[in-house]
Structure formats: structure tokens, C-alpha cells
A and B are shown apart, each in its own frame.
Chain A
Amino acid sequence: MHAINQRSLFALIILFELGSAVLLDPGKNAMQDSWLAVLLGFVMALPLLFLYGGLAKAYPFQSFSELLQIGFGRFIGVTLSICYFGYFLYISARVLRDFDELLIISAYSGASLLLISICMMMTIMYFSIKGISSIAIIAPFLLWIVVIPLLIIGFLQFLSGNVSFELIKPVLGKGLKPLFQTAFPQLLTFPFGEMIVFTFIFPYMTNKTSLLKTSITAVFTVALILSFLAFIHVLVLGPEAVKRSAFPMLNSVSAINISDFLQRLDSFIVIIMVLVGFAKIAVFFIVAVQGTHQLAKSKSMTPLVLFFGLFIIYASIAIAPNYMEHLNEGLIILPMFVHLPFQAGIPLLLAGILFIKGKKKRHLEKSE
């Protein structure tokens, strides 16, 4: 991996975090308070972000995989690293399926799931061979292509007269309980907790001093964008329709019609979605490939990229028989049983062990 600067990291985190979250609206179970749930999810994720940033600050030259080996010993550390790389591959396959389904529903209704998977994955495999810096370099450029149209589309909803402020009321009508139920564990783990993957990238930063500040600013920007979009979705479609919709973003954008001139913007939004999806899959995939490559101490990365790439194409199709089951699995079962241990459980345990080990070491040095 080559060095990454602060600007690229900032852009990459925004693109990565927007990823499938902008497509699926993860706060939609909180009904008309989904925009508040997103902000609450961000506040709940702050300790995790400080934990990831704190680990990177305390051990600036070690990746999370190396920290696992320092904390838990060689055997358990390597085993956990393999599990982490498998976990990243699994999420890559899951996000790939999300975007396959989006493309089939919105544009390529007759196309095969496999064909779309192959086309997307081949681009990502090519980028992977070039390393994480290749995607980090284009991230600031992609950020403008994604964020500006997203905000313009949000304001176009107001111009087209589709919004009804009655739909957002009553604010906190059912109290704080639905908000907390949506924020924990769903919003905490998806999208905010997925920042765990950046603990594998932080050692390759050129300037590590403002790493935590950059990460938190980027995630806060994402929380604001997601909250704004969730707010717009409810204003346009209503809370019930948003909850039922597989892709609320697509449905709300297709409602834009200004003087029968500016309409059918859904195809435009699909392009933006593919860009953020590409960034998310690429980050997970590249970290899994690079991590395994370093662990195996192999000479060439190309065979590994081909092996993992082909497997992800297969896994994205086998992961669920249909899209509804895929969503249920991803938004209900996965956060509690898979995301939480990987994003919070193991890092917390590791931080505790490293803290005790560091304290013991300092104590020994003092006594000598």
C-alpha cells in the first residue's frame, strides 16, 4: 500500500460510509423520526470511532491485524485476522448484491445477476491490483460527483412541490424508544461501525496527527447527509411507504417532476449509487486482499485478487435466494450476531489487553 493523505482519507471515508446506506436508508424503521435516528446512531458510534482512532494513535505503524497478534498472541491473532478478512469479504459480497439488485430493478431488468456482478467485480479487481492508494487518489474527485448532485436532488424535491411537512409530524410521537431501537444495533453497526475497516488503512497515512479529527469530521458529514436524505424521503413518500420500499432513494427521486421538463432523474441517481457502491466494495475487498497477502507473505497479489474476486461473485449470488431475504438477513440478524462482535466486541477486548500490557511494561521499565 502507498501513502494516503488527509484529503483523500476524508473523501474516501465519506464515499465508503455513504455506500449502501444512502441506498437503503438504514434509519427507516424509526418511521417519521428516521432523520433523528441517524443522528442518534452517529452519537452512539462516537465511542467506537474514538476507540479506532485511539488504537491508531497509540500504535501508529501497526495495522489492526498486527495489533491482534500483539494483544492476543501469534496463533489467536492470526486466526482473528483471518476471520476479519473473511468478514470483509462477506460484506463485499453483500454490498455487491445490493447494487446488483438496484441495477436490475432500475435499469437492466432483463440482465442476469451474474453478468452485473462480473462487470462490477472486474473493475474492483483491477483496482485491487493497483492498491488502496489508487482508489484514494480518485476519491476527492468522486466526492464532488456524488455529494453535489445528492444535495441538488434534495432541493429539487422542494422545488417540485412533492414535499408535505405534515408527513414528518408528530416528531417523537412514540417517544424515544423507536429511535433507540433503530439506532442500536442497526445504525451503530451499519454504516458507522463499518469504520473498523479503516483501522487496517490508518498505518498507511502520510500524516497521522489529525487522523482522528479527519475521521470524525468525515463520519459527521455522512451523518448529516444521511439524516437530510432520510428527512426528504419521509417528506416525499411518507413514513409507511419509506419503510416498505426496498430503495427509498430511488422511489423519492423518481417523483421529481418540474414543469414536465425535469423528470426521470432516477437513472441519474443510479450512476451516483454505483459510484459510492464501488468505493465501499473496493475498500472492503482491497483491505481483505492486502491483509491476506501480508499474512501469507506471498510475492504476487494477482492470484489472490482473482481467487477472492471469483469467490465474491459466487457469494453475492448464493448469499440469499431473493432480495427480501437478503435485506432481512442484513438489517435484522447480521447487526446483532456478526457486526457487533467484529466492530465493538473484539476491538474493545483488544484495547483492554493492550492497555494492561502497556501498563505492565511501563511498570517493569520503572522498576528496572
Chain B
Amino acid sequence: MKRGKWLFPVLSVLFVLGLMIGLDLLTGADADKLMTNYIRKMGFINPDDISSFILLFTVAIFYLIKNRN
């Protein structure tokens, strides 16, 4: 995809993020709670999460190598 073609997917993702944050604010979330949900929780300190990511990247790399042409 050309760089310009990424505009629509990125806008869709931004819309989802906006929707999620908007709904959280509607349920009474404060800045600290939003920070925990969207950033701190993604710190992956849990060993299970690290193994999940290794699994994901292994499959992704395998797929990319298989379809490199």
C-alpha cells in the first residue's frame, strides 16, 4: 500500500480509540484510570504476555518469510 492509502485505516482506528475513550468518560473514568487502561496495562510485565508476544511474532515472521515473493 502507498503511504496515502493508510489514511482510511488510520482514521478508522482513531475513530475506535475515540469511541472507547468517550464511552469510558461517560462511565465516569478519570485521567488516571484511562492511563491505566490504555498505556500502563500494556506494560506486559506478566510472563504469560511475553510468551504470547513471542508466539505472535514467530507466526508473523513465518508468514512473511513464506510469502516474501
The minimal Cβ–Cβ distance linking A205 to chain B, given in whole angstroms, is 25
Is there an interface contact between B26 and A304, defined as CB atoms closer than 8 Å? no
Q: Which of B9, B16, B41 contacts A90 (CB 8 A)?
A: B16
Task: Convert A295-306 into 0s and 1s, putting 1 for each residue whose CB lies closer than 8 angstroms to a CB of B.
Answer: 111111011101
In the complex, whether B55 has a CB less than 8 A from a CB of chain A is: yes
Q: Which of A89, A112, A306, A308 contacts B46 (CB 8 A)?
A: A112
Query: Whole-angstrom distance between the alpha carbons of A334 and B6 in the complex?
Result: 28
State whether A329 and B27 are in contact (beta carbons under 8 Å apart), knowing that A83-B15, A90-B16, A315-B16 are contacts in the complex: yes
State whether A112 and B12 are in contact (beta carbons under 8 Å apart), knowing that A122-B59, A304-B1, A318-B20 are contacts in the complex: no
Q: What are the residues of chain B within 8 A of A318 when measuring CB–CB?
A: 20, 37-38, 41-42
Give the interface SS of chain B, mostly helix, strand, loop or mixed.
Answer: helix
Q: What are the residues of chain A within 8 A of B68 when measuring CB–CB?
A: none
Q: What are the residues of chain B within 8 A of A143 when measuring CB–CB?
A: none
Query: Whole-angstrom distance between the alpha carbons of A227 and B26 in the complex?
Result: 32
In the complex, whether A86 has a CB less than 8 A from a CB of chain B is: yes
Is there an interface contact between A325 and B27, defined as CB atoms closer than 8 Å? yes
Q: What are the residues of chain B within 8 A of A311 when measuring CB–CB?
A: 13, 16
How many residues on the B side are at the interface (Cβ–Cβ under 8 A)?
A: 38
Query: Whole-angstrom distance between the alpha carbons of A315 and B16 in the complex?
Result: 9
State whether A328 and B27 are in contact (beta carbons under 8 Å apart), knowing that A86-B12, A296-B8 are contacts in the complex: yes
Q: Which of B17, B23, B24, B27 contacts A338 (CB 8 A)?
A: B23
Is there an interface contact between B9 and A93, defined as CB atoms closer than 8 Å? no
Query: Whole-angstrom distance between the alpha carbons of A86 and B7 in the complex?
Result: 13
CB contact list, B1-35 vs A, under 8 A: 1-2, 5-9, 11-17, 19-20, 23-24, 26-27, 33
Is there an interface contact between A314 and B42, defined as CB atoms closer than 8 Å? yes
The minimal Cβ–Cβ distance linking B7 to chain A, given in whole angstroms, is 7
Is there an interface contact between B55 and A303, defined as CB atoms closer than 8 Å? no
Question: Residue on A with the closest CB to B60?
Answer: A306
Query: Whole-angstrom distance between the alpha carbons of A112 and B41 in the complex?
Result: 13
Is there an interface contact between B1 and A296, defined as CB atoms closer than 8 Å? yes
The minimal Cβ–Cβ distance linking A292 to chain B, given in whole angstroms, is 5
In the complex, whether A319 has a CB less than 8 A from a CB of chain B is: yes
Task: Convert A67-84 into 0s and 1s, putting 1 for each residue whose CB lies closer than 8 angstroms to a CB of B.
Answer: 000000000001000110
Residues of A whose CB lies within 8 Å of any CB of B are 78, 82-83, 85-87, 89-90, 93, 111-112, 114-115, 118, 122, 288, 292, 295-300, 302-304, 306-308, 311, 314-315, 317-321, 325, 328-329, 333-334, 337-338
Given A311-B13, A321-B33, 14 extra CB contacts under 8 A: A82-B11, A87-B15, A90-B16, A111-B48, A112-B49, A114-B44, A115-B48, A295-B8, A296-B1, A298-B1, A308-B9, A308-B12, A329-B23, A329-B24
